[in-house]
Amino acid sequence: MGVFERMEQDGHEQVIFCYDKVTGLKAIIAIHDTTLGPALGGCRMWPYESEGAAVEDALRLSKGMTYKSAVSGQNHGGGKAVLWGDPKTDKSEDYFRAFGRFVQTLGGRFITGTDVGTEKSDFVWSAMESPYLVALPEEHGGSGDSSIITAYGAWRGMKACAMATWGLDTLKGKRVAVQGVGKVGYHLVEHLVDEGAVVTVCDVVPENVKRVKETFPNVASVPPEAIYDVECDIFSPNALGSVINDETIGRLKCRIVAGAANNQLREPRHGDELYRRGILYAPDYVINGGGLIQVADELLGYNRDRAFRKTAMIYDRLLQIFDISRREGVPTYRAADKLAERRIAKVGALSRIYVPE
C-alpha cells in the first residue's frame, strides 16, 4: 500500500519527511487530525528495519494520539514523529537541533516531546530551535516526571472500574495483579497499598520488584510469566503492549483489566473477547492519559493542581465509556472510540459559525 493510500485509509492529513545530510537525521512527522487543535504527540527514536516500518509506526501512533487527546478533553489533534536511527549511537546536539528546526517549519501545527528511545534532555537541544517542545526537564521549563500523574490517573480509572463492576469505587480488599512496576507501576502500587488493596506484582527487572517489596513488605510477587494466572479482581498491565492476546486471555482470572501500558490489546478482536467473557476493559489510551494531560497543560503555563484535577476526570470519562458500552452493546474499546469521534465531530461542526478575523 502506498503512503497516500495508507493516509486515506485512516484519514491522515499530512506526512512530512525530513532529512539533514550533515547529521544524518531521518525523521517522519505524521499529522492525523487537527480538528480540535494543533497535533500533539511524542517523538520516537528507533532503528527501524525499513522505511516502510518507520512510516507505519508514525501513522499508527499519530492516529492513536488523535483519539487520546479527544477523549481526555484536550484541544489538540494527533501527531507523532519518528526518528529513524539508533538511540544508543546516533544522538548529538546537532542531530536534535536539526530536528527542532524541522518542527519549527510547521509553525506550531505539531508539538512534540519524549517517547520510546528519546529522553527529556534530548529536546533541550531541539528547544534551542523551536518553542514547540513539551516534557522538557523542570530546570528548562518542563513539568517534570509524568509517571506520577499517569499512575494517579490509572488509580482513578481503576476506581471507576470498581464502581461500574461492584457499585462501590473503593479498592480496599480488592486483589490487584500489577504487571510491571517501573516508574508508573511503582507509583500505582503506592496508591493501591494506601487504599488497602491486596497487591501481587511482577517485573522482568528484578530490581524493580525488590524496590517495591522493600517499600511495601506486604506486597506479594510472582515470576513475570505467572502473573496471568494470579487469582485477582483486577489485572493491571503497566509494562509491554500486546499482553492481551490469544495466549494470555484464557488464563486471566479477573473481572477487570485496567492498567497504564500502551496498546494492551494485540488486536481489536481481543477487546471483543474480553467483552464476550464479561471482563471489563478500561481502554488503555483513556486510563493512561495523565501524561498527555500534564504535557498539554505545559502549553498553558504548567499548573500542577490544574493538571491533577483534569487527570482525576479520567474516572468520569471511563464511566461515560462504560455507559455507552452498555447502552449500545459494544465493547468498551469501541465505546471509547465513539466518545472521541463524537467530540471531534461536534467541535468540528462549530466551524459553521462564522467568526470575523
Spatial contact of 38 and 108, defined as CB atoms under 8 Å apart: yes
Say how far apart CA 340 and CA 124 lie, in whole Å: 32
Q: Helices (H), strands (E): how many in the chain?
A: 13, 12
Q: Is the pLDDT of residue 131 over 90?
A: yes
In this prediction, residue 226 carries a pLDDT of 98
46-62 pLDDT, tens digit per residue, is 999 999 999 999 999 99
pLDDT the model gives residue 34: 98
Percent of the chain with pLDDT over 70: 100
Cell 510547521 belongs to: 106
Place of cell 500486546: 242
Q: Where are the alpha helices (DSSP H) in the chain?
A: 3-10, 51-71, 93-105, 122-126, 147-166, 183-195, 206-215, 268-276, 284-287, 290-298, 304-312, 314-328, 332-349
Q: Is the pLDDT of residue 133 over 90?
A: yes
Q: Considering the entire predicted model, what is its pTM?
A: 0.93
For 295-332, how does the pLDDT look when each residue is reduced to its tens digit (9 = 90+)? 999 999 999 999 999 999 999 999 999 999 999 999 99
For the stretch 64-112, pLDDT in tens is: 999 999 999 999 999 999 999 999 999 999 999 999 999 999 999 999 9
Other beta carbons within 10 angstroms of residue 222's beta carbon come to 16
Mean pLDDT for 328-349 is: 97
Torsion angle in degrees (nearest 10) through CA of 226, 229, 230, 236: 80
274: Cβ contacts below 8 Å, ≥ 6 apart: 244, 249, 257, 280, 281, 331
β pairing state of 280-281 and 256-257: parallel
Which helix or strand (DSSP H or E) is residue 33 part of? strand 25-33
The predicted pLDDT at position 176 comes to 98
Confidence (pLDDT) at 357? 85
pLDDT of 240: 87
| Domains along the chain with CATH numbers | 3-65+77-140 (3.40.50.10860), 147-287 (3.40.50.720)
Report which secondary-structure segment, H or E, holds 35: none
How confident is the prediction for the chain on average, in pLDDT? 97
How far is the CA of 188 from the CAs of 9, 138, 198, 207, 265, in angstroms? 37, 22, 13, 17, 21
The predicted model gives 125-133 an average pLDDT of 97
Q: Is the pLDDT assigned to residue 12 strictly greater than 90?
A: yes
pLDDT in tens, 169-181: 999 999 999 999 9
Please state the rounded mean pLDDT for residues 234-256: 97
What separation in angstroms does the CA of 220 have from each of 44, 172, 206, 295? Answer: 34, 16, 13, 34
Confidence of residue 31 (pLDDT cuts 50, 70, 90): very high
Buried b vs exposed e over 109-130: b needs ≥16 C-beta within 10 Å? bbbbbbbebbebebbbbbbebb
What positions carry a catalytic annotation? 80
Grid coordinates belonging to 204? 522482568
Q: Determine the pLDDT at residue 302.
A: 94
